[in-house]
Chains A and B, each alone.
Chain A
Amino acid sequence: MTSFEFIETSMEENGIAVIYLNRPRQLNSLNRKMVSEIVAAMEDYDRDENVRVIVLAGVGRAFSAGADIDEMTGDDPISLELLNQFADWDRLGLIKKPIIGAVKGFVFGGGFELALSCDLLISASGTQFSFPEVGLGVMPGAGGTQRLTKLAGRTKAIEWLWTGERISAETALTHGVINKIVAPELLMEETLKFANRLAKQPPLSLRLIKDSVNKAVDYSLYEGMQYERKNFYLLFASQDQKEGMNAFVEKRKPDYQGK
């Protein structure tokens, strides 16, 4: 894989790829190049048949304290529109494989939006989430208002976005923003444990389940069900469907190949 300036990557056992945000001295604040690198790494892993699960984590004490403000101070609407930086974020939304975010410390602004772009979030206890953009006279621009609202509902989303207040991991868990809270010392261990669980599942099922679940957010129930059923039929063309059902009948553990 190409070398990166602001991220680090590593391949773990069982097809688990880990992407680390790596600007610890800036608490992993996101600049545009860093986001491009994350997307490039994700797309590479998405195409690599040896990769089953992608983990996104941060080096140092924070996942990410937000966007690099210095980079934006001179911007105007036209320069931003021409730059079209958020197109990278659209590509992030097109990754088909499971993305697990391992978050800790501060998850603010753009860092929170990045976390919300993951499929599952495992959080260290003591982690704080927030959208502080309102305090700078702006608002989230990389999906924050949309993704948070769809996850937690309008009631809390608008309160948090208007006040910019910090949300504890416990509160985030209560409102369905994160999946699990673990001891900070064990964040990576527990995340990799969970990733390993997913890595044993049939990859095609995981991808088409993600595809269908994502449609549930945007489609009407009727359209969503039509869509779901096409994916269901599609899986019956896979070897893993035969393997899964045969293993069940033969009372043995299935061994999925992703074919």
Chain B
Amino acid sequence: MFETIRYEVTDGVYWLYLNRPDKLNAFIAQMNREVKDAVKAASNDEEVRCIVITGEGRAFCSGQDLSEVDENMDHGQVLRDQYGPMIKQIRDCEKPIIAAVNGVAAGAGFSLALACDFRLISERASFVNAFIHVGLIPDSGNLYYLSQLVGHAKATELAMLGEKVLAAEAVEMGLANRLIQGESWEEDVTAFAARLAALPTKAIGLIKRSLKATSTLSFEDYLEQEAQGQRIAGLTKDHREGVNAFMQKRKPVYSGQ
């Protein structure tokens, strides 16, 4: 049913491949829609406990396909209709999402990686806030996430100068969680995803909910939301399993329930 992406579900992990390798996985409207629909499907699928977004071929995602841009384009409306709903779907997802950045992540491709919970990067990965090079501003939530990740000063620099950030530097500035060296890329990403998929999924979702609330709620309201989150987590089977495993001095096996 998808044409610009493909997916497979293996051992509770939903692998979402951006699949326009000859275009360096650049976004067209259809791809925005398909990423959104795929993330929604993965969110609603009880079997899925982790999502990995990665690129087919040598790029992660090179941003908007400029061949789709003409002088009559209403850039604001494109964000409202295409990119915004996609990014919002990712933000609403209560399962862990990994961006496995296998190559260049430029423009909205950079933003897509930022919207995920983890960024695992290969040696070939790079990040470019390319918008400024065509007289535009970072979009698709880019600066919202970027300033939280690397701080205001560094976000300003990356947005205004549009310089390429290479893999090692990306880890150093807190943009990426892990740099995976050499040949073990697929293996290590798979292992990391499997690790996340084996965690208490409901609690992971509630952690995401709490983290989001830190930027929208007052401290008092946050504490109330935290109490509600802990109440929900306290009712899960995984919480019981965790406690029982601890008492019985064995490793817990979480079901995600």
Contacts and interface: CB of A to CB of B under 8 A. Distances in A.
A250 B225 CA distance: 37
Contacts of B231: 183, 186, 189
A-B pairs with lowest CB-CB distance, top 4: A183-B228, A185-B232, A186-B228, A183-B232
Interface in B195-246: 209, 225, 228-229, 231-232, 235
B158 to A, nearest CB: 30
Contacts of A190: 228
Contacts, number: 14
A184 to B, nearest CB: 9
A40 interface: no
Interface in A133-147: none
Contacts of B228: 182-183, 186, 190
Secondary structure at the A interface, as helix, strand, loop or mixed, is helix
A185 B235 CA distance: 10
Interface residues on B, range: under 10
6 contacts: A183-B209, A183-B225, A183-B228, A183-B232, A185-B232, A185-B235
| Majority secondary structure, B binding face | helix
A182 B224 CA distance: 9
Contacts of B232: 183, 185-186
B105 to A, nearest CB: 30
A185 B229 CA distance: 9
Contacts of A185: 232, 235
B213 to A, nearest CB: 10
Contacts of A183: 209, 225, 228-229, 231-232
A122 B228 CA distance: 14
Contacts of B229: 183
Nearest to B92: A126
Nearest to A183: B228
A189 B228 CA distance: 10
Contacts of A186: 228, 231-232
Given A182-B228, A183-B209, A189-B231, 11 more contacts: A183-B225, A183-B228, A183-B229, A183-B231, A183-B232, A185-B232, A185-B235, A186-B228, A186-B231, A186-B232, A190-B228
A185 B209 CA distance: 13
A190 B225 CA distance: 12
A183 B235 CA distance: 14
A190 to B, nearest CB: 7
A183 B225 CA distance: 8
Contacts of B235: 185
Nearest to A190: B228
A183 to B, nearest CB: 4
